[in-house]
C-alpha cells in the first residue's frame, strides 16, 4: 500500500498560539511550565489532525520553540562558551533563548550563568525561503555529545497518545554544511559527529519508531569538495547504527542532478524527492534508485498555496509505480509544510473564485491522502476530487490588458538613470549638504502593541478611518520630533501605518489578495502573512505619498520615502503559477515606479526601495543564477530609474551574503545601500571593499534583531572598521534593519548612541 506521508507541519499554531505563548513567557507573564504545556498541546493537536486526515507517516520533532537548527545544535552539544551551559546534560531554556535572541541582562540569565552581553547566534535564510535559522558555531574545539535525545522523546510522546511518528532529523552533512566553522573545515568534524547521530538513532529505535526521516537538503545544492565522500561515510555509519530503523533520506527545494548517482548508492531505505520544483528528476531517479527500496514522491507543493493539479500529480505517481515499484511508494508534500499557512478554513473573506484554487497545509494533507488512494485504488476512487481539481485549474487568473500593454512597451532607457552615479552624487550632495557619516535608519520604528491595537480596532470597525489616520499621524509626528531632537540627519516617517512591508503594499495593489490568518513562521515568534498574487498587478492609486508628504511637512531635513522593491514584493508573496516570475516581477516594478514618480513629484528627495529578499530568490544552483539576477536587477532599476539626478535612491538588504552577487548589487545602481553587517562583525563589508563598490554604503552597526542595546563605543568600533574598508565620504551610519520588532526602551538609547558614535568618528576623520 502506498504510504501517505508528511515531512513537517507548521508549528506556530493555527491561531499563532506558539507566538503568543513565547512572547508571554519572554515578557515574564507566564512560566516555563506554561510555555511547555502550550507547546505540548500544539504537538498533540497537529499529530491528531494529521493522523485524522489519513496521513500514515506523521512527522515528529518538526516542532520547535524557536528554530529546528538551533534545537539540533543544542541536542548535539554545539553550544559556545558564555551561554551558561555546563558542558554536560540538557541545555536549559535560558541558554536556548540566549543563543536565539542574545542576553537581555535579566536576573534569570545571571542565575543561569549567561554572560551579560552575550549576542545571539547569527541568523540566516533557510535556503531560498523566508524562514530563518540560527547558524551553529563550530570550532576545532567543538566536542559533540548528546545532551538530550529529543527525537526519542518525541517518539515516546506520540506513542503515549497513540501515534507512532516518524521523527525528523537534520542530517549530519547538512548540519555541518549549514554551520559556521572557524579555523576548521566543517566536514572534518564528521567523524566526531557521527557517533552522536548513531546514538540518536539507537534511541529513536528503542523508543519504538520504525522510520526516521533524515533531511539532507544540501543534496540539491552545488556541494563542496569532500561532500560526496562525507555522505557515503555518514550513511554507512548511520545504517549500521540502528539496523531495525528505516531511514528516509529527504531532499527538497530542487533536483539532485549530479548528486543523484552517489545519493542512490547510499544505504538508506527510502529517498524523498521534490517533484514540484523538479519534476524532471523523476525519470533519472527511477533509473538510478533500486526498485526494492522506497521512493517518496513530493507531489504537493510545500512552498506555494495553489491546489495541486491532482490529475497531473497522479499521472507522475502512476508513472513511478509502473515497473513493479508500486509496493514501495510514498506520496508526500514536496518539503515541510512549514512554509504555508495552516488552514484555508479560517479564511472566510476570500473571493470564492480564489478560494477554490487554494490549498493550505491541511488541504495539502488531504491532497496527499487522495493521491495515495488514487494510486492504490485507481482514478475512479477519487473521481470527484479529480474533477474538482480540474475545474479549479481551468479557472483563468485575472487579466488586465492595460498591464500587458505597458509591459509590451518597455524600453531599455526606462531601466537607466539619466546620469552616472558620480554626476548624480554631485547633484545630491549639493542639494542635501549632509555631514560625513550621515545618520539615518532603515525605516520602521517600533510596532508597539498600541500601534497594532489601532489597526485591529479599525479592522473590527471600532474606530473610523479618520480617527485611525489621525492617531498614526500623531505617532509619526512624535517620531519625527524625536529624530530631530537626537540629531538624526535623515529621518524616516516610521512606517506606523503599515502592518508589514509586503502585505501593506499587496493590500493596495490590484492583482493581489490577502488572508486573515495565513501566517507563516519567519523566525522564532515572528510570522508573516504573505499576500497572494493571483492577477495582473497594477497600482490603482498612490500608496505612501500621503504619509511621506505629511512627515516631510514637519521637518526641514530630508525625509526618506520608504517603499518595498519589486523583487522583494515577489519573493515574499505567494505568486501565481501561470506566468513566469520575471513577468510578474516586471508588473510589480512598474507599479512601484509609479509610486516613486509620485513621491518625487510630492517633493520627497530621498526614496528607499527595500530589497531584503533580493538574494532569497537566487536559485540554489550556480548555473541557474545569471538569468535570475539579470531580470531581478532590471526590475529594481525599472522601479527606481524614473527619477532625476538630484533625487537620491536608497536600497536596503538584510540577511544576505553579498560576496557572490556584489557585481549585481552594484548594477542595481542605487545611490546608497544599507546592509546587514552587525551580527557578522562587518565581515560582509569585505565584498564591498574587494569590488570597490562605487556608490554609498550604510553598513548596519546595530543588530536590531537582538534586544541588546549596543553602546556608542561598540558602534564606533564597527564604524571604524567600516571606514578602513570604504572611504568615509561614502559611508552612512545606520542600524542593521528596521526597528519594528524592537521596543522604544531599546530604540531610544540605541539611536542616541548611534548619533554619538557617528559624531565621534566624524571628529576623528577631520
Ligand atoms: N514579509 C516579510 N518578511 C520578512 C520581513 C518582513 O518584515 N516582512 N523581515 C525579515 C525578518 N522577518 C520578520 C518577519 C515578521 C516580522 C514581524 O514583526 N511580524 C509580525 C506581524 C506583522 C503583521 O502583519 N502585523 C499585523 C497584524 C498584527 C497582529 O498580530 N494583530 C493581532 C491583533 C493585535 C491587537 O489586537 O492588538 C491579530 O491579528 O490577532 C499588523 O500589525 O496589523 C509578528 O510576527 O508579530 C518581523 C520580521 C525577513 N522577512
Ligand atoms: Zn532589513
pLDDT in tens, 189-246: 999 999 999 999 999 999 999 999 999 999 999 999 999 999 999 999 999 999 999 9
Ligand nearest to the CA of 675: 2
What pLDDT shows up at residue 251?
Answer: 98
Mean pLDDT (whole number) for 93-103: 95
pLDDT digits (tens, 9 = 90+) for 111-159: 999 999 898 999 889 999 999 999 999 999 999 999 999 999 999 999 9
Q: Which of 450, 506, 527, 528 to mutate to test the pocket of ligand 1 (most atoms within 8 A of CB)?
A: 528
Measured CA to CA, the distance from residue 741 to residue 476 in angstroms comes to: 17
> What is the grid cell recorded at 316?
507522475
| Global confidence as pTM | 0.95
Per-residue pLDDT band at 658 (split at 50, 70, 90) = confident
Is 547 a pocket residue for ligand 1 (Cβ < 6 Å)? no
The answer on pLDDT for 691 being more than 60 is no
- Residues 491-539: pLDDT tens digits? 999 999 999 999 999 999 999 999 999 999 999 999 999 999 999 999 9
Instruction: With beta carbons less than 8 A apart as the criterion, state whether 498 and 504 touch.
Output: yes
- 443 annotated binding-site participant: yes
Mutate to test the pocket of ligand 1, among 19, 452, 457 (most ligand atoms within 8 A of CB): 452
Neighbours of ion ligand 2 (CB under 5 A): 612, 654, 737
Q: According to the model, what pLDDT value does residue 690 have?
A: 59
CB of 526 shorter than 6 A to ligand 1: yes
Residue located via cell numbers 536596503:
652
What architecture (CATH level 2) is domain 401-408+437-765?
Alpha-Beta Barrel (3.20)
pLDDT at position 736 is 92
Banded model confidence at residue 765, pLDDT cuts 50, 70, 90? confident
Tens digit of pLDDT for each residue in 379-398?
Answer: 999 999 999 999 998 887 78
- Atom 12 of ligand 1, nearest CA residue: 522
Interval between CA 652 and ligand 2 midpoint (Å): 6
The CATH code belonging to domain 3-88+120-394 is 3.20.20.210
- Ligand 1 atom closest to the Cα of residue 741 is 18
Q: Is the CB of 124 under 6 A from ligand 1?
A: no
What does the pLDDT read at residue 326? 79
689 annotated to a ligand binding site: no
Which pLDDT score is estimated for 685? 74
Residue nearest to atom 43 of ligand 1 (CA): 499
Radius of gyration of the chain (CA): 26
Q: Do the bridges between strand 132-134 and strand 180-181 make them parallel or antiparallel, or are there none, so unpaired?
A: unpaired
CB of 448 within 6 A of ligand 1: the answer is: no
Looking up cell 526516521, which residue turns up? 212
Q: Are 186 and 179 in contact (CB under 8 A)?
A: yes
pLDDT, tens digit, 9 for 90 and up, residues 162-180: 999 999 999 999 999 999 9
Closest CA to 358 of 48, 528, 579, 577: 577
Choose among 632, 721, 730: nearest CA to 672: 730
The full set of domain ranges for the chain reads: 3-88+120-394, 401-408+437-765
Query: Candidates 449, 451, 500: which one to mutate for ligand 1, based on the most atoms within 8 Å of Cβ?
Result: 500
pLDDT (mean) for 288-301: 96
Does any ligand 1 atom lie closer than 6 A to the CB of residue 528? yes
- 681 — pLDDT class (breaks 50, 70, 90): low
Q: Is the CB of 285 under 6 A from ligand 1?
A: no
Cell numbers at residue 715, please?
A: 558602534
Dist CA 78 CA 91 (whole Å):
10
The closest ligand to the CA of 449 turns out to be 1
How far apart, in Å, are the Cα atoms of 197 and each of 116, 217, 245, 722?
33, 17, 13, 41
Average pLDDT over residues 36-51: 98
pLDDT in tens, 588-637: 999 999 999 999 999 999 999 999 999 989 999 999 999 999 999 999 99
Cβ burial 275-285 (10 Å sphere, 16+ → b, else e): bbbbbebbebb
Q: Whose CA is nearest to atom 45 of ligand 1?
A: 526
Closest ligand to C-alpha of residue 703 is: 2
Of the candidates 677, 678, 591, the residue with the CA atom closest to the CA atom of residue 642: 591
The pLDDT, as a whole number, for residue 708 is 84
Q: How do residues 302-350 score in pLDDT, each as one tens digit? A: 999 999 999 999 999 999 999 778 789 999 999 999 999 999 999 999 9
517 lines ligand 1 (CB under 6 A): no
Measured from the Cα of 738, ligand 1's closest atom is 7
CA neighbor of 536 nearest in space, from 490, 596, 576: 576
**Smallest CA separation from ligand 1 atom 25, residue:** 499
Task: Output the pLDDT for position 682.
Answer: 66
- Residue 678: band (very low, low, confident or very high) from pLDDT cuts 50, 70, 90: low
- Give the closest residue (by CA) to ligand 1 atom 41: 499
- Rounded distance between C-alpha atoms, residue 372 and residue 378, angstroms: 10
Counting residues of the chain whose pLDDT is more than 70, the rounded percentage is: 98
- Whether the per-residue pLDDT at 564 is higher than 80: the answer is yes
Q: What is the mean pLDDT of the chain?
A: 95
- Dmax (CA) for the chain in angstroms is 81
pLDDT of residue 199: 98
- Residue 114 near residue 81 (C-beta atoms within 8 A): no
CB 34 within 8 A of CB 132: no
Is 676 marked within a binding site?
yes
Which pLDDT does position 332 carry in this prediction?
Answer: 98
Top-confidence residue, 204 or 688: 204
Check the annotation: does 345 bind a ligand: no
* Ligand 2 centroid distance, CA of 654 (Å): 5
Q: Which of 328-337, 560-569, 577-586, 672-681 has the lowest mean pLDDT?
A: 672-681
- Residue 612 alpha carbon, nearest atom of ligand 1: 49
Whether residue 686 is predicted with pLDDT greater than 90 in this model: the reply is no
pLDDT tier at 766, thresholds 50, 70, 90: confident
- 33-37 contacts at long range (C-beta below 8 A, 24 or more positions apart): 35/65, 35/93
DSSP 3-state of 99: helix
CA distance linking residue 23 with residue 156, whole number of Å: 28
639 φ, ψ (degrees, to nearest 5):
-75, -30
Known catalytic residue at 517: no
501 CB near ligand 1 (under 6 Å): yes
pLDDT value, residue 654: 86
Q: Is 145 in the pocket of ligand 1 (CB under 6 A)?
A: no
Same fold, 3-88+120-394 and 401-408+437-765: yes
Query: What are the DSSP calls for 266-322, one per residue?
Result: S--SEEEEETTT-TTHHHHHHHHS-TTSEEEEEEE-SSS-BPP-HHHHHHHHHHHHT
pLDDT value, residue 24: 98
**pLDDT recorded at residue 647:** 98
Atom of ligand 1 nearest to the CA of 530: 1
Closest CA to 295 of 86, 655, 521, 2: 2
Structure confidence at residue 108 as a pLDDT band (50, 70, 90): confident
525 CA → ligand 1 middle, Å:
10
CA 725 from chain centre, in angstroms, equals 29
Amino acid at each position: 500500500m502506498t504510504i501517505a506521508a508528511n515531512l513537517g507541519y507548521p508549528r506556530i499554531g493555527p491561531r499563532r498560539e506558539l507566538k503568543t505563548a513565547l512572547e508571554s513567557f519572554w515578557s515574564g507573564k507566564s512560566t516555563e511550565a506554561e510555555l511547555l504545556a502550550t507547546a505540548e498541546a500544539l504537538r498533540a493537536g497537529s499529530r491528531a489532525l494529521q493522523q485524522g486526515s489519513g496521513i500514515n507517516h506523521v512527522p515528529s520533532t518538526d516542532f520547535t520553540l524557536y528554530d529546528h537548527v538551533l534545537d539540533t545544535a543544542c541536542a548535539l552539544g554545539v553550544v559556545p562558551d558564555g551561554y551558561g551551559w555546563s558542558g554536560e546534560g540538557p541545555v536549559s531554556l535560558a541558554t536556548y533563548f540566549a543563543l536565539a535572541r542574545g542576553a537581555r541582562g535579566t536576573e534569570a540569565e545571571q542565575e543561569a550563568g549567561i554572560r551579560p552581553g552575550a549576542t545571539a547566534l547569527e541568523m540566516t535564510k533557510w535556503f531560498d525561503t523566508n524562514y530563518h535559522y540560527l547558524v551553529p558555531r563550530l570550532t576545532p574545539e567543538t566536542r559533540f555529545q548528546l545532551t538530550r535525545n529529543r527525537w526519542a522523546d518525541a517518539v515516546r510522546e506520540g506513542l503515549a497518545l497513540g501515534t507512532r511518528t516518524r521523527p525528523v532529523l537534520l542530517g549530519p552533512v547538512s548540519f555541518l554544511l549549514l554551520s559556521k566553522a572557524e579555523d576548521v573545515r566543517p566536514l572534518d568534524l564528521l567523524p566526531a559527529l557521527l557517533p552522536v547521530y548513531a546514538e540518536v538513532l539507537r534511541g529513536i529505535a528503542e523508543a519504538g519508531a520504525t522510520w526516521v526521516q533524515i533531511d539532507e537538503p544540501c543534496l540539491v545544492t552545488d556541494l563542496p569538495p569532500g561532500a560526496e565522500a562525507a555522505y557515503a561515510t555518514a550513511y554507512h555509519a548511520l545504517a549500521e547504527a540502528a539496523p531495525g530503523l528505516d531511514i528516509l533520506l529527504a531532499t527538497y527545494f530542487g533536483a539532485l542532478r549530479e548528486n543523484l548517482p552517489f545519493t542512490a548508492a547510499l544505504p538508506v531505505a527510502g529517498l524523498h524527492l521534490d517533484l514540484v520544483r523538479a519534476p524532471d528528476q523523476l525519470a533519472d531517479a527511477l533509473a538510478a534508485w533500486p526498485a526494492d527500496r522506497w521512493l517518496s514522491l513530493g507531489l504537493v507543493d510545500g512552498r506555494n498555496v495553489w491546489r495541486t493539479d491532482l490529475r497531473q500529480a497522479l499521472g507522475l505517481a502512476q508513472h513511478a509505480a509502473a515497473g513493479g515499484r508500486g509496493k514501495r511508494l510514498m506520496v508526500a508534500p514536496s518539503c515541510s509544510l512549514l512554509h504555508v499557512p495552516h488552514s484555508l478554513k479560517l479564511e472566510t473573506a476570500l473571493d470564492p473564485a480564489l478560494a477554490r484554487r487554494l490549498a493550505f497545509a491541511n488541504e495539502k494533507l488531504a491532497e496527499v491522502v487522495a493521491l495515495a488512494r488514487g494510486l492504490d485504488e485507481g482514478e475512479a476512487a477519487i473521481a470527484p476530487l479529480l474533477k474538482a481539481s480540474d475545474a479549479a485549474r481551468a479557472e483563468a487568473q485575472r487579466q488586465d490588458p492595460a498591464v500587458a500593454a505597458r509591459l509590451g512597451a518597455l524600453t531599455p532607457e526606462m531601466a537607466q538613470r539619466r546620469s552616472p552615479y558620480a554626476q548624480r552624487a554631485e547633484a545630491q550632495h549639493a542639494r542635501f549638504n549632509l555631514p560625513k557619516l550621515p545618520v539615518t535608519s532603515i525605516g520602521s520604528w517600533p510596532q508597539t502593541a498600541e500601534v497594532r491595537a489601532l489597526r485591529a480596532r479599525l479592522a473590527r470597525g471600532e474606530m473610523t478611518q479618520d480617527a485611525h489616520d489621525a492617531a498614526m499621524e500623531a505617532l509619526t509626528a512624535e517620531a519625527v520630533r524625536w529624530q530631530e531632537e537626537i540629531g538624526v540627519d535623515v529621518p524616516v516617517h516610521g512606517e506606523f501605518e503599515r502592518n508589514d512591508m509586503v502585505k501593506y503594499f499587496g493590500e493596495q495593489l490590484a492583482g493581489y489578495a490577502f488572508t486573515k490568518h495565513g501566517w507563516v513562521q519567519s523566525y522564532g515568534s515572528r510570522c508573516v502573512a504573505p499576500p497572494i498574487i493571483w492577477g495582473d498587478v497594477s497600482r490603482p492609486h498612490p500608496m505612501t505619498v500621503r504619509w511621506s508628504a505629511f512627515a516631510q511637512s514637519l521637518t526641514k531635513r530630508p525625509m526618506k520615502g520608504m517603499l518595498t522593491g519589486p523583487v522583494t514584493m515577489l519573493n515574499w508573496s505567494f505568486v501565481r503559477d501561470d506566468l513566469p516570475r520575471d513577468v510578474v516581477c516586471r508588473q510589480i516594478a512598474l507599479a512601484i515606479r509609479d509610486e516613486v514618480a509620485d513621491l518625487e513629484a510630492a517633493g520627497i528627495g530621498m526614496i528607499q526601495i527595500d530589497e531584503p529578499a533580493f538574494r532569497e530568490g537566487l536559485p540554489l544552483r550556480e548555473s541557474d543564477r545569471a538569468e535570475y539576477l539579470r531580470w531581478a536587477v532590471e526590475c529594481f532599476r525599472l522601479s527606481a530609474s524614473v527619477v532625476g539626478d538630484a533625487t537620491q535612491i536608497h536600497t536596503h538588504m538584510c540577511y544576505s551574503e553579498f560576496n557572490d552577487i556584489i557585481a549585481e548589487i552594484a548594477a542595481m545602481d542605487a545611490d546608497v545601500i544599507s546592509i546587514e553587517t552587525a551580527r557578522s562583525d562587518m565581515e560582509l563589508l569585505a565584498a564591498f571593499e574587494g569590488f570597490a563598490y562605487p556608490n554609498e554604503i550604510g553598513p548596519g552597526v546595530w543588530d536590531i534583531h537582538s534586544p541588546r542595546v549596543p553602546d556608542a563605543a561598540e558602534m564606533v568600533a564597527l564604524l571604524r572598521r567600516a571606514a578602513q574598508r570604504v572611504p568615509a565620504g561614502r559611508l552612512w551610519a545606520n542600524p542593521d534593519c528596521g526597528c519594528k520588532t524592537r521596543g522604544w526602551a531599546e530604540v531610544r538609547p540605541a539611536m542616541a548612541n548611534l548619533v554619538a558614535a557617528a559624531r565621534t568618528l566624524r571628529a576623528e576623520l577631520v
